[in-house]
A = this chain, B = another copy of it.
Amino acid sequence: MTATDALDLASVFVFATSGALVASRQQLDPVGFAFVACLTAVGGGTVRDVLLDRNPVFWIAEPINIAAALLAAALAFLIAPQLESRIKVIRWLDAVALSVAVVAGVSAAIEMGASPMIITIMGIVTGTAGGLMRDVVCNDVPLVLRHGELYVTAAFAGSLTSAIVAQVFPDPMVYLLAGALACFILRAGSLLFGWALPNYRHNPPQS
């Protein structure tokens, strides 16, 4: 199991839990839980693998990813009633999964010898596409575009950090950890302290 495989598996498990909790808010049935959990869990890595033409797609190569997503969905089905604020738990799980998935994308792109720009993009895509699909399918405003939150920005910062550090320290432990931390710190700061970039404000036309 390579570093990419391990990171994919970890992000699958956490994203699946977040997807299943979204399913619980939508009061879906058990198969709906499993469906949304799997879509959220493998969506980002799947888009990455299709774009990079990595064959086979990671969860076809390592079906344990599907098993992990189903396990996470089953756990979420059981624990969801115990949670006082599911939306809070969803956000924090999503933040962890985002950080792990971003560096999973970076790791896969580096393995394929991609340039720093493509590495950065693959980190962003792997981190955000699963959650985006979850929100589009569940008819939610995509979290990636919600105002006053660092979401794509956190993915971008983590991805770029990893891509840059990798040029200097070629040890995966170093650059993947640096990227995941950068992403998580920004996202956590946004959730805890409301860190945000200034939104675009419409200056009314002069005439």
Contacts and interface: CB of A to CB of B under 8 A. Distances in A.
Interface string A135-170: 011110110110100001100100000000000000
Classify chain A's interface size.
35 or more
A46 to B, nearest CB: 7
Nearest to A109: B60
Given A132-B137, A153-B31, A80 B200 contact: yes
A87 interface: no
A43 to B, nearest CB: 12
Contacts of A124: 35
Interface of A: 23-24, 26-33, 35-36, 46, 50-53, 55-57, 60, 63, 66, 77, 80-84, 114-115, 117-118, 121, 124, 132, 136-139, 141-142, 144-145, 147, 152-153, 156, 196-203, 205, 207
15 contacts: A27-B147, A28-B199, A30-B198, A31-B197, A32-B144, A33-B200, A35-B144, A35-B145, A35-B152, A46-B51, A52-B60, A60-B114, A63-B118, A80-B202, A84-B207
